[in-house]
């Protein structure tokens, strides 16, 4: 806005001097500028002197510029806060009647519901609970409005219970989960479908989509709940099951190492792209092979749930056929790091590798020793070499040959019984490949599968004894009908599957079926499964 000033020029007798033209100036052009005609225009708030000067005479007038707010604006118009205790900032802009911006206006802020959010003098709004509020800014009787929506977003899951104990197979219990925002505040009424549940060991317990846990076998597993749409937002609880003993069999399939219960239930993949499982005596760890290339494979160990894998051979050769010593401190294995291959023994951590039995010198590639198995007292090992089963002391001395195969016959892949009195092995000494048992001195050889001529034990797949020694599991193919376009129907071998036979050969059960094959079984003792520690709990 502008204002016009008039200056009268008087002589010493106080008479008006007509035609005199004063020079105008402002002491603060930031407040007001003045034209040669005495028109002062406000440029900003404050006080300035307007001076009229003629020659040596001058006079002043005081001009006070004070902006009055006529318009008030708040920005942004809407903000959304997604976590309790998070903030959003609003700014207020005041303008006078001509639309000029007013610097540093004095603004007061209020919200219409302080239980949802609080606002401070600076326009900073802090969320307190879910809901919506109106934010009002006021200055000089002018008001403006904005809106805040507090809507917590799920950032993590938290299981209320730290642990759950179940007794007996099939018993159930429920774990409860809370949804929390990124600041750790509980979100009310979260849709249960927003959470994904999982169990580290389904052989101990499983969990459904609502957090109901079902016991399956003795042991300990951790159950995890996570925000289904997010990664890394997981919490865990320990589930302990007692009163539900179970025996597990690990075996090789085209997918890797699978595990199945001794009754044929709960078949599942444990470690992909691996082979040749061997349980440690206490059932806590598993040794297995992983192929790196056509001329290299290594032996690894892992927890019984497949986690914490460790390469214990780390050698540029083929390594496999792992067998734990009864006390779990050593592993016997086959390797071709020497000419023709041989049986070696190492500590369970891979140290102190020692050659126990090498290949036959006159034909090392044909007569390599294979399939080591420990006696229950750890003093001897059995193995096959040159189509016969042999026993040797744990220090490599005292070789004893237990079988005597004629031309065209082969006995191989021994497995020592838990009581130490017998060896199970594969042999074709009766003309058909079958599962046999014999005393540890080679006497009393008996064909266990002679009554089941529809099966043929798979080559290179040793049998495995049940922990109590009453049953033997082995891989075998079943005779079936095949069809050829030119020759029509003919008898052939189907996929290799796991079979269980009683120690006396009177009971015979197929354990696996379907298109997926199975072989190289290892029977685990009925000890509780102990899952290693799960992810750290994410406390708010």
What average pLDDT score do residues 374-380 get? 97
Phi, psi for residue 539 in degrees, rounded to 5 = -75, 150
Please tell me the predicted confidence (pLDDT) of residue 459: 62
pLDDT by residue (tens digit) across 83-95?
999 999 999 999 9
Structure confidence at residue 528 (pLDDT): 83
Higher pLDDT, 279 or 537: 279
* pLDDT tens per residue across span 453-471: 556 676 668 999 999 999 9
pTM (2 decimals)? 0.72
CA distance 457 to 226: 45
pLDDT bucket at 533, cuts 50 / 70 / 90: low
pLDDT band at 361 (very low <50, low <70, confident <90, very high): low
pLDDT of residue 212: 97
Using one digit for the tens of pLDDT, what is the confidence trace for 319-357?
Answer: 999 999 999 999 999 999 988 899 999 999 999 999 999
Give pLDDT tens digits for 236-253.
999 999 999 888 999 999
Mean pLDDT over 47-57 rounds to 92
Answer whether 356's CB lies under 8 Å from 381's CB.
Answer: yes
Task: Give me the mean pLDDT over the 180-190 stretch.
Answer: 94
Give per-residue burial for 247-264: e unless 16+ CB within 10 Å, then b. Answer: bbbbbbbeebbbbbbbee
Burial (0-12, 13-18, 19+ Cβ within 10 Å), 431: exposed
Whether the per-residue pLDDT at 225 is higher than 60: the answer is yes
pLDDT of residue 277: 96
pLDDT of residue 310: 95
Residue by residue, DSSP assigns 474-506 as EEEEEEEEEEETTTEEEEEEEEEEEEEEETTS-
Residue 76: asked if its preceding bond is cis (omega within 30°), the reply is: yes
Contact between 102 and 42 (Cβ < 8 Å):
no
> For 112-168, how does the pLDDT look when each residue is reduced to its tens digit (9 = 90+)?
999 999 999 899 999 999 999 999 999 988 999 999 999 999 999 999 999 999 999
Mean pLDDT of the chain: 90
pLDDT bin (cut points 50, 70, 90) of residue 360 is confident
HEC secondary structure over 238-274: EEEEECCCCCEEEEEECCEEEEEECCCCCCEEEEECC
Q: Is 518 helix (H, G, I), strand (E, B) or coil?
A: coil
Instruction: Provide the pLDDT for residue 364.
Output: 62
Q: Alpha-carbon distance 333 to 429, whole Å?
A: 26
Q: Are strands 529-530 and 219-227 parallel, antiparallel or unpaired?
A: parallel
State mean pLDDT over 290-318.
92
Q: Give ∠ CA 327-330-335 in degrees, rounded to 5.
A: 145
Domains in the chain: ranges and CATH:
2-65 (2.60.40), 71-150 (2.60.40.1080), 163-242 (2.60.40.1080), 317-521 (2.120.10.30)
Task: Please write the tens of the pLDDT for every residue from 393-431.
Answer: 999 999 999 999 999 899 999 999 999 999 999 999 988
Assign 308 a pLDDT band (cuts: 50, 70, 90).
confident
């Amino acid at each position: 806005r502008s204002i016009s000033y008039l200056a009268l020029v008087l002589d010493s007798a106080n008479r008006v001097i007509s035609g005199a033209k004063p020079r105008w100036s402002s002491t603060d052009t930031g407040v007001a500028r003045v034209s040669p005609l005495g028109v002062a225009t406000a440029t900003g708030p404050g006080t300035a002197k307007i001076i009229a000067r003629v020659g040596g005479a001058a006079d002043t007038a005081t001009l006070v510029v004070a902006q009055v707010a006529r318009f008030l604006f708040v920005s942004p118009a809407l903000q959304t806060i997604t976590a309790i205790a998070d903030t959003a900032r609003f700014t207020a802009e005041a303008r006078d009647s001509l639309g000029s911006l007013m610097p540093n206006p004095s603004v007061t802020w209020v919200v219409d519901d302080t239980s949802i959010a609080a606002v401070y003098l600076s326009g900073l709004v802090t969320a307190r609970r879910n809901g919506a509020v109106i934010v009002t800014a006021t200055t000089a009787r002018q008001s403006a409005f904005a809106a805040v929506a507090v809507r917590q977003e799920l950032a993590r899951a938290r299981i209320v219970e730290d642990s759950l104990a179940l007794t007996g197979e099939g018993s159930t219990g429920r774990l409860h989960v809370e949804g929390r925002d990124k600041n750790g505040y509980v979100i009310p009424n979260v849709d249960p479908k927003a959470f994904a549940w999982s169990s580290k060991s389904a052989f101990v317990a499983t969990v459904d989509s609502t957090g109901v846990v079902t016991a399956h076998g003795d042991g300990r597993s951790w159950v995890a709940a996570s925000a289904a749409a997010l990664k890394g937002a997981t919490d865990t609880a320990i589930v302990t099951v007692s009163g539900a003993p179970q025996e597990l069999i690990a075996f090789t399939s085209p997918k890797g190492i699978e595990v199945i219960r001794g009754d044929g239930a709960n078949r599942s993949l444990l470690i992909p792209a691996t082979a040749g499982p061997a349980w440690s005596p206490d059932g806590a760890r598993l040794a297995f092979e992983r192929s790196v290339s056509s001329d290299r494979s290594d032996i690894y160990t892992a927890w019984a749930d497949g986690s914490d894998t460790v390469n214990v051979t780390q050698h540029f050769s083929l390594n496999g056929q792992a067998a734990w010593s009864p006390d779990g401190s050593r592993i016997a294995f086959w390797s071709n790091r020497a000419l023709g291959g041989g049986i070696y023994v190492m500590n369970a951590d891979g140290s102190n590798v020692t050659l126990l039995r090498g290949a036959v010198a006159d034909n090392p590639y044909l007569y390599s020793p294979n399939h080591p198995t420990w006696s229950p007292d750890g003093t001897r090992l059995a193995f096959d070499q040159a189509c016969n089963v042999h026993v040797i002391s744990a220090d490599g001395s005292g070789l004893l040959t237990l079988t005597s195969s004629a031309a065209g016959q082969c006995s191989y892949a021994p497995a020592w019984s838990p009581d130490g009195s017998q060896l199970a092995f594969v042999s074709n000494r009766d003309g058909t490949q079958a599962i046999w048992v014999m005393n540890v001195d080679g006497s009393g050889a008996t064909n266990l599968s002679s009554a089941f001529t529809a099966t043929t034990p798979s080559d290179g797949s040793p049998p495995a004894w049940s922990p109590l020694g009453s049953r033997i599991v082995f891989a075998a193919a079943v005779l079936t009908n095949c069809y050829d376009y030119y020759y029509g129907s003919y008898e052939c071998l189907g996929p290799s599957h796991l079979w269980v036979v009683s120690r006396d050969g009177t009971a015979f059960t197929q354990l696996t079926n379907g298109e997926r094959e199975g072989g190289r079984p290892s029977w685990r003792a009925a000890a509780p499964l102990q899952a290693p520690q799960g992810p750290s709990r994410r406390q708010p």
